[in-house]
């Protein structure tokens, strides 16, 4: 609540600084990703629980986009699209190829070349140096970095004390006893360290006149969700809070439920959702504290602050948990907020947007040019006429899953060798056009939804509206014409350190995937 008051009382402090006449040639840029955050569980977007109160107050001075989809349903391809402006079929980073190819020029590389100091702090092991996502950053740090690993372990251990809902508490206890090495994944929920790392970087700069670009990835909403008790108490009665620490939210249960090998009761699903909502409240506080710390240090003067997500999360919809093997709304609808009252203004926009649009948008704000010959459908959201005019043709937006065998499928096969994975072996594309959404899978499945009338995607119209289905099928063919074919590209070679990290997370050797680890 203190964070809410601080931001609500000074809505202009975090970003606008002085009036427009006093602004520099190019702003600083703080790019924040709330990993695994679906827009419809944020009070900023009308959710019934107050999951983002500080953000709600701060966003009154921001430009909020109400209709935003992600380029992909999970971390690696989504971040790659945000960092390059390319469609997943063009950069081909996915669950089977978790590295971003160095031949692609990233947002950070372009900004650094134009004079920006660049910094990355990521809680996600896949947004790191070893995965190619630190290209262009002067410094890249993580909770498992040497400077922070011990404190990260202490922070996360305190959060999971008494938590029997996942495998994490046992793993951390084993690490503290010296029986197991510290792995990157096990300390992902230590967002408290992000502001310390960023402040240290900003304070250590030798050229204080140069603009800076910082990227921060928070993983608190990604499974296993372990919000402290005080956040759970905001949404649950005492008995339910206690139950939230005992409900089975293990990876084994997640995969078995998602792939229809077991059932969960309504009580279990509700506790899972409430714990997720509590994690959003924790994120909200971390974000507010970050902004207040930057403001106290004088670092937010003339700074554009961006908040988005790489993807969302299934919380029981369509008999699914996590964000695997799906192109439904819970995993593709994400938030997008741009804050700098003097440069951007405030309000809400309902025109179609994508998180990949941040690539050209931020380059334009920084007066930096994209790579020569870049072919992209991403748009500068702040360009003149960017908002769709009344009567204009609707924008076609494409989301993709380019890997045919997801990490979840690999994990489920290991859990149950007799399981028939055939229906789940598929790449997928989703096309948004006006009120309709078309999902097309490589195994021949086709789905059509009117997401305005049916945002829960409860009624497949593919057979009922043949004319609309044909129109959307043709529109998808047009939207994907000229895109790459990831299946035709050989996998990148992993260096020994990268292979060791991915093997510890269960990704590098599909035949030996640890079923208790998440998707990249």
Place of tokens 């971003």: 100
- Minimal CA–CA distance to 436: which of 417, 464, 414, 401? 464
In a domain, 280, yes or no: yes
Report which secondary-structure segment, H or E, holds 436: strand 436-441
In a domain, residue 339? The reply is yes
Domain that holds residue 326: 2-369
Antiparallel, parallel or unpaired: β 396-401 and 314-315: unpaired
pLDDT digits (tens, 9 = 90+) for 108-160: 999 999 999 999 999 999 999 989 999 999 999 999 999 999 999 999 999 99
Question: Which CATH number fits the domain that encloses residue 284?
Answer: 3.40.720.10
The answer to whether residue 431 scores a pLDDT higher than 90 is yes
Flag whether the pTM goes above 0.85: yes
Residue 488: inside a domain, yes or no? no
Please give the tally of structural domains in the chain.
1
In this prediction, residue 512 carries a pLDDT of: 37
pLDDT tens-digit map of 39-88: 999 999 999 999 999 999 999 999 999 999 999 999 999 999 999 999 99
In a domain, 430, yes or no: no
> Residue 446 in 3-state DSSP?
strand
Strand partners, 390: none
The β-bridge partners of 306 are 31, 338
The answer to the question of residue 106 being in a domain is yes
Kindly indicate the confidence band of residue 179, based on its pLDDT and cuts at 50, 70 and 90.
confident
Mean pLDDT of 397-402: 95
User: What is the average pLDDT value for the chain, to the nearest integer?
Assistant: 90
Q: 185-240, pLDDT tens digit by residue?
A: 889 889 999 999 999 999 999 999 999 999 999 999 999 999 999 999 999 999 99
The reply to whether 378 falls in a domain is: no
Strands 212-218 and 117-122: parallel
For residue 520, being part of any structural domain is answered with no
What pLDDT is attached to residue 517?
Answer: 56
**Rounded CA separation 517/520 (Å):** 9
Q: With a cut of 50, say whether residue 14 has pLDDT above it.
A: no
- pLDDT in the model for residue 75: 94
Question: Does some domain include residue 504?
Answer: no
């Amino acid at each position: 609540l203190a964070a809410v008051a601080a931001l609500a009382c000074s809505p202009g402090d975090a970003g606008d600084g002085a009036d427009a006449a006093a602004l520099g040639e190019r702003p600083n840029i703080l790019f924040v990703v709330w990993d695994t955050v679906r827009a419809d569980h944020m009070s900023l977007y009308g959710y019934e629980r107050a999951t983002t109160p500080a953000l709600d107050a701060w966003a009154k001075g921001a430009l909020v986009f109400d209709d935003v989809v992600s380029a992909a349903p999970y971390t690696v391809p989504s971040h790659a699209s945000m960092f390059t402006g390319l469609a997943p079929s063009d950069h081909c980073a996915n669950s089977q190829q978790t590295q971003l190819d160095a031949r692609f020029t990233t947002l950070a590389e372009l900004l650094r070349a134009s004079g920006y100091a660049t910094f990355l702090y990521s809680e996600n092991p896949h947004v790191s140096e070893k995965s190619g996502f630190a290209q262009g950053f002067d410094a890249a740090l993580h909770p498992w970095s040497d400077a922070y690993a011990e404190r990260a372990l202490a922070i996360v251990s305190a959060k999971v004390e008494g938590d029997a809902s996942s495998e994490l508490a046992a793993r951390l206890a084993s690490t503290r006893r010296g029986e197991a090495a510290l792995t990157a994944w096990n300390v992902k929920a230590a967002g408290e360290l992000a502001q310390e790392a960023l402040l240290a970087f900003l304070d250590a700069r030798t050229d204080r006149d140069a603009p800076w670009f910082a990227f921060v990835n928070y993983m608190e909403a990604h499974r296993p969700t372990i919000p402290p008790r005080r956040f759970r108490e905001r949404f649950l009665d005492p008995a339910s809070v206690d139950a939230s620490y005992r409900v089975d939210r293990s990876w084994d249960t997640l995969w078995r439920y998602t792939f229809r090998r077991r059932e969960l009761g309504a009580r279990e699903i509700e506790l899972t959702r409430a714990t997720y909502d509590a994690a959003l409240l924790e994120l909200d506080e971390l974000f507010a504290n970050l902004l207040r710390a930057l403001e106290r240090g004088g670092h937010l003067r003339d700074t554009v602050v961006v908040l988005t997500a790489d993807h969302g999360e299934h919380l029981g919809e369509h008999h699914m948990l996590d964000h695997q093997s799906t192109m439904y709304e819970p995993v593709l609808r994400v938030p997008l907020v741009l804050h700098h009252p003097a440069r951007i203004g405030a309000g809400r926009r309902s025109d179609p947007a994508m998180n990949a649009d941040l690539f050209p948008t931020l380059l334009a704000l920084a007066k930096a040019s994209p790579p020569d010959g870049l072919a992209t459908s991403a748009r500068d959201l702040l360009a003149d006429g960017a908002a769709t005019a009344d009567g204009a043709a609707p924008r076609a937006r494409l989301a993709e899953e380019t890997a045919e065998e997801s990490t979840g499928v690999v994990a489920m096969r290991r859990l149950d060798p007799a399981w028939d994975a055939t229906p789940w072996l598929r790449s997928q594309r989703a096309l948004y056009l006006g009120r309709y959404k078309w999902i097309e899978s490589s195994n021949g499945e086709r789905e059509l939804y009117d997401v305005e009338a049916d945002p829960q995607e409860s009624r497949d119209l593919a057979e009922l509206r043949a004319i609309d289905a044909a129109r959307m099928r043709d529109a998808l063919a047009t939207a994907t014409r000229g895109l790459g074919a990831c299946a035709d590209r050989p996998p990148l070679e992993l260096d020994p350190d990268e292979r060791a990290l991915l093997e510890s997370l269960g990704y590098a050797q599909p035949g030996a995937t640890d079923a208790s680890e998440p998707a990249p």
